[in-house]
Amino acid sequence: MTHVPEWLTTLAVTAGTATVPAYLRPPASGGRQAAVLLLFGEGPHGPDVLLIQRSARGRLHAGQPAFPGGGVDPGDGGPEGAALREAEEETGVDPRGVALVGVLPELYVGASDNRVTPVIGWWHTPSAVHAAAPDEVESVERVPLAELCDPGNRLRVRAPGGYLGAAFRVRGLLVWGFTAGVLDRVLAAGGFERPWDPSRVEDLPPGSLRLTASR
């Protein structure tokens, strides 16, 4: 039987019962079913999470850091299967080394009309990872939670149209949008969050908002 750290079990339960903000609540109908994998492991610098940087050539959320994930296909059997399949396709992670811990409430990404189920996994037997789908993924990073929670790496970003949201600068990446919002919530739920300065606000770099047709 795979041992899952108590902190991750607590995170999954707490985040899984948290209230979904109004702006992320799915509509009564419509939207594409999708899933992302929040894959946590024990790395050389303590607990970490797997992130990808989407290719600038990608058709959706080009160039943005994200969790591995994508649309739920008929053969996936649901969000959990989709999250594992997409993670394997995008990063080469071996699903046999992952224990699924829980799912978070479905969230709606209006810009791409996706109803996204975040799936939490424990990477009990890490495998080598890389940009396994070069047309979609530029790079893959195991980002320590300590770096994400470092107050010096936390900020908020502002975009034309009024968007203002959480962001992280880690490993040369600016993590923002949906991914940063989910990280912000789960880090707090897991008790990792440290006080930081929300008045530190930066404008999104030009080109960050490029969103093209769904795959």
The CB density around residue 207, as the number of other CB atoms within 10 Å, is: 9
Q: What is the spatial distance between Cα 42 and Cα 175, in angstroms, rounded to a whole number?
A: 21
Q: What is the spatial distance between Cα 152 and Cα 183, in angstroms, rounded to a whole number?
A: 16
Please state the domain extents for the chain.
6-203
Question: Cβ neighbours of residue 31 under 8 Å, at least 6 residues apart?
Answer: 108, 113, 114, 115
Q: So what's the pLDDT on residue 211?
A: 43
CATH number of the domain at 6-203, please?
Answer: 3.90.79.10
Q: What is the spatial distance between Cα 116 and Cα 119, in angstroms, rounded to a whole number?
A: 9
Q: Quick: pLDDT tens for 146-205.
A: 999 999 999 999 988 888 999 999 999 999 999 999 999 999 999 999 999 999 999 998
Q: How confident is the model at residue 210 (pLDDT cuts 50, 70, 90)?
A: low
What's the pTM? 0.93
Question: Cβ neighbours of residue 29 under 8 Å, at least 6 residues apart?
Answer: none
Q: Quick: pLDDT tens for 97-144.
A: 999 999 999 999 988 999 999 999 999 999 999 999 999 999 999 999
Residue type, 105: P
12 in Cβ contact with 94 (< 8 Å): no
Q: Quick: pLDDT tens for 50-92.
A: 999 998 765 555 679 999 999 999 999 999 999 999 999 999 9
